[in-house]
Amino acid sequence: MLDQTRQRGALLEANRQWAQAGSVYRTALGNLGPGASLQDRFWLLTSLVEVSFEQHEYGQAFRWLQEAEKAVGELSPRTPERVRLLSAWGTLHLVEGNLTAAERDLSRAVAASESVAKLPDLAAALHNLAAVEMHMGRLDAAAIHEKKALALWLQQFGDRDRYVMKAWISLSSLQGLSGDWPAAERSLQNALAIIETPEALANYAVVLEKLKRHPEAKEIRRRIHLPMPSPSALADVKAMPSGTGRLRVQTQ
């Protein structure tokens, strides 16, 4: 029933046209009849949650999540929909800075995902749990979870997908925080081979500075109009998505 919506939405998301994708999903949601399946309604609502996250519209994401809660009704906690919803709430706690609640919900989502959820949902929960652990300073655990997320997304989508790109950028941040700048460079090169986003380029400029390759870093900063970094600067995908100070997260 929603095949055309899925295809069109996926194309718009791949091109980072979030507003247009949101419009497509809202139109499809409004056109759902009373006999529409719970799964169709829930998929549209969680797609709108993700679009809201990508646009940093967290208040709107909260409202879509409330609608998704109503849609799942009395479904068992051990269903893919409930697991995805738990992961999304954990992600919202993350961007709000409530790390304790984020870790609780995302850890539960990861544990449940391993038995009932689809691989992309497990990868998203692992990716966001790694973000929580990074902010808590638990870098070893964060690296393990980010590498698992990366492997799952590579398995599911191949090496040119935007989710794979996000995992490479996050992994580079962890490697930088651990002082492994050569590894951080390799991870960012993998991300940039997919698409040269301002986010990845900004991180790459910092890594090049740490590797004492100042002319290359200066050229990248000139291209994306970035100021020179302070001596302690470390680009972090979770703290600087696409040139903002917001958190980069993934919900599905």
Helix axes 80-96, 58-72, angle to 10 degrees: 160
* pLDDT, mean of each 10-residue run, the chain (252 residues): 89 91 96 87 94 94 95 84 92 94 95 84 93 95 97 94 93 95 97 91 94 95 70 33 37 50
Token digits of residue 195: 């698409």
Please answer whether residues 182 and 172 qualify as being in contact, where contact means their C-beta atoms are separated by less than 8 angstroms: no
What whole-number distance in Å separates Cα of residue 149 and Cα of residue 189? 18
Token digits of residue 152: 């799952």
Helix axes 38-54, 80-96, angle to 10 degrees: 20
* pLDDT computed for residue 227 by the predictor: 61
Is residue 8 classed exposed, middle or buried when 0-12, 13-18 and 19+ CB atoms within 10 A define those classes? middle
Contacts of 142 (CB under 8 A, 6+ apart): 130, 131, 133, 134, 174
| Residue type for position 128 | N
What whole-number distance in Å separates Cα of residue 170 and Cα of residue 100? 20
| Residue type for position 200 | A
Contacts of 166 (CB under 8 A, 6+ apart): 127, 237, 248, 250
CATH number for 1-74: choose from 1.25.40, 3.90.820, 1.10.1140, 2.60.40.
Answer: 1.25.40
The whole-model pTM stands at: 0.83
* pLDDT computed for residue 146 by the predictor: 97
Neighbours of 134 (CB within 10 A): 23
Token digits of residue 213: 């390759």
Nearest to 252 by CA among 108, 127, 139: 127
Contacts of 36 (CB under 8 A, 6+ apart): 1
Token digits of residue 92: 């919202």
* pLDDT computed for residue 120 by the predictor: 87
Is residue 136 classed exposed, middle or buried when 0-12, 13-18 and 19+ CB atoms within 10 A define those classes? middle
* pLDDT computed for residue 246 by the predictor: 35
